[in-house]
Structure 1
Amino acid sequence: MSLVTVEDLSVSYGANTVLRHVHMIIEPGEIVTIVGPNGSGKTSLLRAIIGATKPAKGRITRKQGLRIGYVPQKLHIDPTLPISVERFMRLTNRVSRARCAEALEEAGVPDLLKRQMTQLSGGQFQRVLLARALINHPDILLLDEATQGLDQPGSAAFYRQIETVRRETGCAILMISHELHVVMSASDRVICLNGHVCCEGSPAVVASAPEYRALFGTGTGGALALYRHDHDHHHDHDHSSQDAAE
């Protein structure tokens, strides 16, 4: 059964309609990325799926008992507030220390449990947010431009970790990204949004769609070439890492 089904969804804020007639299905275990210009309704779609925004029209059906993990765009913590990573992760979750440690390991940062949140680098902070989203074994993970503010290598490493999370936990991933090269290397399916669904499909199909090119210009051919290079490189890298490990 599908995890989430969106049917004829429209979202409005007062007189301003930000999304019209959106149809979308998320299947178990797939990585789906939403791309689109600023103001295209990407975050509104995520908020509607979570249940934080009420649709003006249409409906969203979630699989019964669906567990959702959410990684926000950013989170501000008062620098004068002494709070450890473990305490932060247990603020709204009644979980054991062992599960906190396990979730940090899934997020690729197994040694941060005792560190202070204020001492973390940007990349470590985002990994802790990812671990917190994973703590209750979600069926689907939602990420709202979770790498904003990270440099390109940090961003690429974060998305590689997302692919590892999907491989190891089997959870589906729905993410918003403005980084087209990352989208092309990490997604099973891309949805191009601009108030409505302009086009969707595999990265290769979407990158060659006229609607996508109209929004993102001629650089998309380069993004697709990079997708192929990255994809091949990741496979090579995975094999070489495996060889090194053995």
Structure 2
Amino acid sequence: MTLMSMQGVSIRHGSFPALSNVDFAITKGEIVTVVGPNGSGKSTLLRALIGAVKPYAGRIDRPRGMRVGYVPQKLHIDPTLPMPVDRFLSLPTRVSPARRATALERAGVPDLAGRQMAALSGGQLQRVLLARAILHEPHLLLLDEPTQGLDQPGAAAFYRRIEDLRGELGCAVLMVSHDLHVVMSASDRVICLNGHVCCEGHPEIVASAPEYRALFGSGTGGALALYRHEHDHEHDAGCDHDHGSDHAHDHKHKHEAAE
């Protein structure tokens, strides 16, 4: 079932064309990653889907009543503002304690409810933003470079949590990422964007596409090597992909070796 789609969408920032004639659709339960260089329109695509920017051409369709969770690229919190995590999760409208606790548990940080937002590490903050995005069990989860600033094991662990949430909630996931080597192991489909859709498809197909290599260069070989390492064996339908920190560090060494 298609959750959301774009047909021929074009968007400008002033006179600058951010997106041109973009066709896009995401279906229930799918994980789609959007990659592209800086200024390629990745964040604009997500902001258009949540209605924060309007296209000057084309259309965006989504079913009435569809719930969308959104994890922004950045969130600045005044360090002098007293704001515990539990209170943050109830803004702007009150959320029950049980729902807040469930969201933190699902995000992998059940013990952070009483911590001050300003005292969180980068990884903890991203997990709290993820908890806020899944409070109401969204049909579609949108993430804008959610692992920016995290080290590679931290990024790998975050993406494994996203895979687990897809299974727990049955939601679709659309994320913008610059962590190509991790993305390859976490996505059903990759879209390469550079103001328009350059190529899209299964991660291994996109990684070998001339358009992708033209944008990212020879370093994409490391990304594909890591993707193959993770998926060179069969998985049962209900398998657990969370292999722990040792698995993340093993992948780090594999990537460095490939480079």
Shorter-chain TM-score tier: over 0.9
- Please say if 1:170 is aligned against 2:159: no
User: Using a 3 Å threshold, how does the CA distance of structure 1 residues 237 and 134 change in structure 2: closer, same or farther?
Assistant: closer
TM-score of the two chains, using structure 1 as the length reference: 0.93
How far apart are the structure 2 equivalents of 1:21 and 1:107? Answer: 35
Q: CA deviation at 1:182?
A: 1.2
Deviations 1:75-116 (A, max 9, x none): 111111111110000012331011000000110111111111
Distance in 2, Cα, partners of 1:138 & 1:171: 6
Partner of 2:257: none
2:113 alignment partner in structure 1 = 113
Distance 1:216 1:50 in 2: 28
Q: Percent identity?
A: 68
Note closer, same or farther for the CA distance 1:240–1:129 as it changes in structure 2 (3 Å cut). closer
For residues 179 and 154 of structure 1, the distance between their equivalents in structure 2, rounded to whole angstroms, comes to 11
- Partner SS state of residue 181, structure 2: helix
Counterpart for residue 210 of structure 1: 210
Deviates most, 30-39 or 105-114? 105-114
1:14-37 per-position Cα deviation (integer Å, ceiling 9, x unaligned) = 221111110011001100000000
2:139 is the counterpart of 1:131: no
Give the match for residue 256 of structure 2.
none
- Tell me the secondary structure at the aligned position of residue 155 of structure 1: helix
Distance 2:93 2:174 in 1: 22
Q: 8 Å contact 2:9–2:23 — kept in the other structure? A: yes
Q: What per-residue deviation string (whole Å, max 9, x for no partner) do you get for residues 131-188 of structure 1?
A: 0000011100100001111111111111111111111111110000011111101000
The letter of the residue matching 2:113 is L
8 A contact 1:184–1:203 mirrored in 2: yes
CA apart distance, 1:234 = 11
Rounded Cα–Cα distance in structure 2 between residues aligned with 1:111 and 1:234:
35
1:190–1:206 Cα contact (<8 Å) kept: yes
Instruction: For residue 237 of structure 1, report the CA deviation from its aligned partner.
Output: 7.8
Give the superposition deviation at 1:222. 2.0
Q: Do the aligned partners of 2:160 and 2:241 also contact (CA within 8 Å) in 1?
A: no
Does the 8 A contact of 2:126 with 2:147 survive in 1? Answer: yes
Is 1:2–1:63's contact at 8 Å kept on the other side of the alignment?
no
Measured in 2, the distance between the counterparts of 1:128 and 1:232 equals 33
Number of residues of Structure 1 aligned to a counterpart in Structure 2 = 241
Q: Which residue of 1 aligns with 2:44?
A: 44
Is structure 2 residue 150 aligned with structure 1 residue 150? yes
Amino acid at match of 1:220: T
CA-CA distance at 1:219 after TM superposition:
1.6
The residue aligned with 1:96 is 96
Matches within 5 A, 1:192-231: 192-231=192-231
Question: What stretches of structure 1 of length at least 5 have no aligned partner?
Answer: 242-246
Matches within 5 A, 1:16-31: 16-31=16-31
Contact kept? 1:11, 1:18, Cα under 8 Å: yes
**Structure 1 letter corresponding to 2:209:** A
Name whichever of 81-90 and 12-21 sits farther off. 12-21
Question: What TM-score do you get using the length of structure 2 for normalisation?
Answer: 0.89
